[in-house]
């Protein structure tokens, strides 16, 4: 089974955003494994880890001009807001990438 975390060479060769003037990225938190984001409408057992998503984001080439983080469902989140925190961290990473 291929995972983004274990196969850095595969991820580096994707060349996401290469040669593009502006990149828009939409992160659907449903893609994350419920261990990282249980507060979503449609859980994805065996989904990506938070680190997988960060690796994809950091490998993105080209200028990030806009982004969104979607599908957070607070009614299904844990009492401590684990999924909301994951979404906030993703927004922070996206903002940092856009400010470069």
- Domain map (residue ranges) of the chain: 8-99
C-beta of residue 37 within 8 angstroms of C-beta of residue 83:
yes
Query: How does pLDDT run across 70-94, given as a tens digit for each residue?
Result: 999 999 999 999 999 999 999 999 9
What is d(CA 48, CA 37) in angstroms, rounded to the nearest whole number?
10
Q: Is the pTM of this model over 0.85?
A: no
How far apart, in whole angstroms, are the C-alpha atoms of residue 96 and residue 100? 7
Residue 20 binned pLDDT confidence (cut-offs 50, 70, 90): confident
- Whole-angstrom distance, CA of residue 46 vs CA of residue 5: 13
Burial 37-72 (b: 16+ CB within 10 A, else e): bbbbeeeeeebbbbebbbbbbebbeeebeebebebb
């Amino acid at each position: 089974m291929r995972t983004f975390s274990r196969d850095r060479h595969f991820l580096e060769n994707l060349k996401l955003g290469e040669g593009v003037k502006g990149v828009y990225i939409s992160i659907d938190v449903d893609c994350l494994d419920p261990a990282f984001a249980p507060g979503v409408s449609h859980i994805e057992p065996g989904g990506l880890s938070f680190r997988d998503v960060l690796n994809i984001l950091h490998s993105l080439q080209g200028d990030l001009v806009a982004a969104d983080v979607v599908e957070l469902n607070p009614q299904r989140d844990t009492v401590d807001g684990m999924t909301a925190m994951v979404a906030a961290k993703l927004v922070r990473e996206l903002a940092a990438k856009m400010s470069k």
